[in-house]
Structure 1
Amino acid sequence: MFAHIFLYRFKCLIRDRQLVFWTLVFPILLGTFFYMAFFNLNNDETFHPIDAAVVNNHAYQHDAQFKFVIEHISKGKKRLFNLKVASTQKEADSWLKTNKVKGYFTNGETLRLTVQESGLEQSIMKRFADQYRTDSSAIKSIAKENPKALQNGLLSDLGKQQSYVKEISGGSAKPNNVLNYFYSLIAMACLYGSFWGMKEVTDIQADVSARAARVNIAPVHKLKAFIAGSMAALLILFSEILVLLAYLHFGLSIDFGPRTGYVVLTALLGSMLGVSFGAFISALVKKGEGLKVAILLVISMVGSFLSGMMFLNMKYIIAQYVPLLSWVNPVNLLTDAFYALYYYDSLHRYTLNMTMMVFFILLFCGGTYLIVRRRKYASL
C-alpha cells in the first residue's frame, strides 16, 4: 500500500509544472546568469606597465638619484612604468591630452605629478611620487649625518619594501569568493523545495482543499499518506538538485572540490531540510495557501540575501556582527557546507554545518508530526 501511494503521489507531484519550474528551471536559469556576470571576475588580471612620462628639465638632468630610481623601475618584465621622456612640459601636456600617457612627473624642489583624471594607474603613480618624496627626504637626512651610508647601496634599496606578514591558507584549494554565489544558489533551490513540503501538508488538510478532503475519507492512515507523499516530494527535489549540481559542474565548470560523496550528501540533507521546512510552515500556519507561499518565499529570499547571494559581503557582515544569525539561517548553513568542502582540508566546519542542518530537520519533522496528528475534523 505504501509503495502504491508513493508511486501515485509521485506522478501527481511531477505534473505540477509550476513547482518544477521554480525548483529546477529557475535555479538553472539564475545560475546561467550568474556565470555570464562573473565569468571573468576571478581571472588573474595581468598587470600592464603604466604609460608615464617625465619632463627632461634642468632639475631632472642634474638629479642622479631620481633618474636612477625612475629608470630602474621602468626596466625589465616586471617594470612599473613604460617611461617616456618629454623634452618640454608642453610636449608632456600634449601626450597627456591625447591619452598617450596617464600622467607625467616634473622634478624640481619637490617631485610633482600631473594627471587629468583619476583611476587605478593615476593612484599608483601618486603612490610612487609620495613614496619617493618620503624616501628622498629620509636619504637627505641620513646623508647629512652619515655620508658613508650612500656608499653602501642605499640608493639601490630605495623603493624596496619588505612584508613581515605571512598569509597561511586554511586549505589546499585556492580562495574563490565567486563560488559563494553559486553555492548560495544551490541552497536557495533546496529551500525552494519547501513548496513541495507545503503541498504535501496542504493536500492532507481537509479544510484547505477538496483533494485533501478526499484523502481524509480514504481508508488510509493520514500519517502513512503524508509520509509516502513526503518521500515522493523528497525524491523529486533531490533529483532536481542533482541535475542542478551536474549542470553547474559539467556545464559551467563550477568547482565543488574533490569530495563528491560529501557534496551529494549535502544535497540530500539540503533537500530534506527544504521539504521538512515547507511542511512545518504549512502545518503551523492555518491560513490559506497564498499566505503560506508568501512566508516561505520571504524566508527563502531573506535567507539567501543574508548568505551573500545578492551581496557577498553581507555573509561576512552577519558573521562578524550577528554570528547567531549565521547558525539559524538554513541557506547560510548549506552555503557554508558547500564552501567548507571546497576550501578546507579539515571536515570540522563542514560537520558543524551538517549537524545544525540535521537538528533543524528533526525539529521541523517533529513539529509537523505533532501538529498534523492532532488535527481532526468534525465533518467533511
Structure 2
Amino acid sequence: MMFTYYLRKTLRDKAYIFWSLAFPILLMTCFSVTFMGPAKGEVDFKPVKSTMIRIDSGESAFADEFEGVLKNLADAEEVRKSSMGYDHAVIELIETASQEEAEKKILDKELEVLFLVNGKEETISVKVGDGANMTTLMVARSITESYRRNYTIMKDAAMTAPDKIEAVMESITNSVSVMKPKSTYLGDNENSANVYLWYFYSTIVMGMFFNVTAGINTVFDIQGNLSGYGMRTSVSPKKKSKILLSAFLARYVLSCAITFFALTVMNRFFDVPLGNRFPHIILFVLLGNLFAMSLGCVIGLFTKGDENQRDNKATALVMISVFLSGEMIVQLPGLLEKYCPIVNRINPATIMNFAFFRLVNYPTLSGFWMNMIKISLATGVFMAVSIMKLRREKYAAL
C-alpha cells in the first residue's frame, strides 16, 4: 500500500519526470538531428558545391597543392580509390571568375562553399551561405583543417623526398572526414570513442544521476524537521523503517524503469548500439540508480535549505560531474587524463561513462568491473552514512 502511494506521488512530480526522462530523450533527439548521420557512417550526402579563389598574385605552391586536393575530392573515381569510404565525390567544383561572382553565387544558392586562398601568407578563409547545413560546414572545416595540418609535412617532403609528394597529398585527401564516425581520445588506456555515440552514452548516465533528487525526496518524506509530511510520518504508529523502505524502493524502481525506457529509445529509435551483454547492462542500470539515490540521501541529510534548494544544489553537482565526464566537450576526459588524471578517477559520471563504454565496446570486462567496484564502494558508504544519520535523529518537539 505504502509502496503504491509513493510510486504515485513520484509520478506526480513533474520536475523529476522532466529531468530524469524527458530531458535526456530531448537531448538525444537533438544529437540525432545533428550527429546521427556521422555517427552511423552514412554517406548519402550530395557533393558540396565549392569553388576556390586566389586572393594574391603570382605562383604559390601552397595554393597549387590545395587546388590539387580539391580536384581529387571532386573526382569520384579518386575518392572511391581512397580510404575515405565514400562512393561519390565529396565536393563539386564550380567555375568562378572572381570573388565577387562567387559571393553572388552563394547568395543565389548556386554555390555552397568559397575557399579564399592566400598563397603568399599561406592562409585559407572559408565563406558559406547563411543557410549552410551541417554537412556543408563539416566539409569546409574538414578540408581546411586537414590541409593546414599536413601542408608542413608536404613542404618537408618536397625538400627531402620529392618522390613522396604524391603520397603525402593522398594522405591529406584521405584525412578528410565528412560523414564518417569521428573518434577522440578519452584518456581511457589509449583507446578512443566514437564522438557522436559518446554523447548518447553520457546522456544515459546523466539521466540516472538526475535521480539524485529522488533520494532527497525520500529523506524529506521521513524527516520530521524538514517537511510537514515528514512530521506526520515521524508521529505515525507505523514503523519508520518500513516507511523509509517503501519510499526508497518506489522511487528506485521507477528510476530504473525510466533508465531502461531511455536505453530502449536510444537503441530502437536512434540506432545506438548497446552490445549483447544484457545482464551486465541491467547491473549497470541497477547500480547506477542506487548510487544516485544514495548520494541524494546524503545531500538531503547534510545540506541546508528547503527541498527545492537541496534539489537545486544536487542538480548543480550533477551538472558539474556530467560536464567533466565529456557530455558537452567530449575531449575533456582526455585532457583531464593528461593534466589532472585524479579528476577522472574520482568523478562518478566519468567512471560510469567509461564503464558503459567499456561494456559496449571492449572484448573483455575487467575495466567495466573495476569501475563498477568503485561505484559500489561509494554507494555502500553513502547508504551506511545515511542510515546511521537517520537512526540517530531525535526531535525535542514537532
TM class by shorter chain equals: 0.7 to 0.9
* Seq. identity, %: 22
1:314 Cα deviation after fit: 1.6
1: CA distance, partners of 2:145 / 2:375: 47
1:328 Cα deviation after fit: 2.1
Contact 1:92–1:104, Cα closer than 8 Å, also in 2: no
Cα deviations by residue, 1:288-316 (Å, 9 ceiling, x for unpaired): 22331122011111011111111112222
1:205 Cα deviation after fit: 0.9
CA RMSD in angstroms, aligned pairs only = 4.4
Map 1:200-239 → 2, pairs under 5 A:
200-239=218-257
State the match for 2:34 in structure 1: 37
Matched, 1:250 2:257: no
State the match for 2:6 in structure 1: 9
1:185 Cα deviation after fit: 1.2
State the match for 1:264 in structure 2: 282
2: CA distance, partners of 1:375 / 1:353: 34
Cα deviations by residue, 1:261-299 (Å, 9 ceiling, x for unpaired): 211211111111111111111112254223311220111
Contact 1:102–1:122, Cα closer than 8 Å, also in 2: no
State the match for 1:278 in structure 2: 296
1:351 Cα deviation after fit: 0.8
Matched, 1:307 2:325: yes
State the match for 2:167 in structure 1: 160
Cα deviations by residue, 1:202-233 (Å, 9 ceiling, x for unpaired): 01111121211111111122122112211111
Bigger mean CA offset, 96-105 vs 296-305: 96-105
In structure 2, do the counterparts of structure 1 residues 213 and 177 end up closer, same or farther at CA, with 3 Å as the change threshold? same
Q: With structure 2 as the length reference, what TM-score do the two structures score?
A: 0.69
In structure 2, do the counterparts of structure 1 residues 222 and 312 end up closer, same or farther at CA, with 3 Å as the change threshold? same
State the match for 2:199 in structure 1: 181
1:26 Cα deviation after fit: 2.1
**Counterpart secondary structure, 2:194:** coil
1: CA distance, partners of 2:297 / 2:97: 75
**Counterpart secondary structure, 1:159:** helix
In structure 2, do the counterparts of structure 1 residues 353 and 47 end up closer, same or farther at CA, with 3 Å as the change threshold? farther
In structure 2, do the counterparts of structure 1 residues 52 and 266 end up closer, same or farther at CA, with 3 Å as the change threshold? same
Map 1:1-380 → 2, pairs under 5 A:
4-42=1-39, 43=41, 77-78=77-78, 121=143, 138=160, 159-160=166-167, 175-380=193-398
- In our comparison, the structure showing a higher alpha carbon Rg is 1
2: CA distance, partners of 1:91 / 1:247: 51
Contact 1:284–1:371, Cα closer than 8 Å, also in 2: no
AA aligned to 1:301 is M
In structure 2, do the counterparts of structure 1 residues 15 and 327 end up closer, same or farther at CA, with 3 Å as the change threshold? same
1:193 Cα deviation after fit: 0.8
Structure 2 residue runs without a partner (length 5+): 60-64, 80-88, 106-110, 128-139, 172-184
